[in-house]
Amino acid sequence: DAGITQSPRHKVTETGTPVTLRCHQTENHRYMYWYRQDPGHGLRLIHYSYGVKDTDKGEVSDGYSVSRSKTEDFLLTLESATSSQTSVYFCAARGTGASYEQYFGPGTRLTVT
Amino acid sequence: AQSVTQLGSHVSVSEGALVLLRCNYSSSVPPYLFWYVQYPNQGLQLLLKYTTGATLVKGINGFEAEFKKSETSFHLTKPSAHMSDAAEYFCAVSEPDSWGKFQFGAGTQVVVTP
């Protein structure tokens, strides 16, 4: 599992409430990513980080923000959750070597009611 | 912009038969290519990858894939399906110098029948 954990693993929340998902890695990977997985869409990139405090938007970033104050932690925040953000969220990480692959966490299933 | 197409959202194969999952991509530069597998309620696990060198790459669990630049394809095969191969498979593409960002295909669900 390349030392990537996500918390919580499951969450049910109401529309309009803020939600923060946490990704923690123990391998000192430089790059980290947040994806959402929805049927028929595969995984789509929300935000990514290329270093501490260095983040940028992915293809589906509207309604999401991220922060990375330490190498090991990458937080995803839904400022005001909507039902369209019901999804499974995956965190991934990648080092700076020539391997190029990403290592994935176990996912967080978020339901917005 | 890059894109990834996986032909067939669901594939049913008999145990012992060939598994063939198709992946085509579009990219402005030669990309890095990956296949991942996802078992129910789990994260994604790398099956194999192509970055440079030999275009036929072997991965875990008896899978292999061939990069064909002229066809912009990276199809995944396994000669003989096993019941444990039932899972969802994702093809992913990453362009060099793109901060390692992936573009995923929509996925192919594989069902293995006895």
Q: What is the C-alpha separation between A3 and A59, in angstroms, rounded? A: 26
> Hey, what are B104's tokens?
């995923």
pLDDT band at B28 (very low <50, low <70, confident <90, very high): confident
Interfacial residues of B (vs A; Cβ cutoff 8 Å): 4, 6, 9, 32, 34, 36, 41-46, 49, 51, 90, 94, 99-107
**A1, pLDDT greater than 70:** no
Closest CA to B31 of B108, B89, B91, B107: B91
Contacts of A21 in chain B (CB under 8 A): none
Give me the sign of the Cα torsion angle A24, A29, A31, A36: negative
**B7, pLDDT greater than 60:** yes
> Hey, what are A50's tokens?
């290329």
pLDDT band at B1 (very low <50, low <70, confident <90, very high): low
pLDDT in tens, A73-91: 999 999 999 999 999 999 9
Contact between A7 and A22 (Cβ < 8 Å): yes
Q: Give the angle subtended at the CA of A89 by the CAs of A79 and B84, to the nearest 5°.
A: 170
Burial of A101 (0-12, 13-18, 19+ CB in 10 A): buried
Give me the sign of the Cα torsion angle A10, A16, A17, A20: positive
Q: What is the C-alpha separation between B85 and B78, in angstroms, rounded? A: 10
**DSSP assigned state of A30:** S
Distance of CA B41 to the CA centre of its chain: 19
Nearest to B43 among A41, A101, A107 (CB): A107
pLDDT in tens, A15-72: 999 999 999 999 999 999 999 999 989 999 999 999 898 999 999 999 999 999 999 9
For residue A80, give how far its alpha carbon lies from the nearest alpha carbon of chain B (Å).
Answer: 26
Q: Do A100 and B46 touch (CB under 8 A)?
A: no
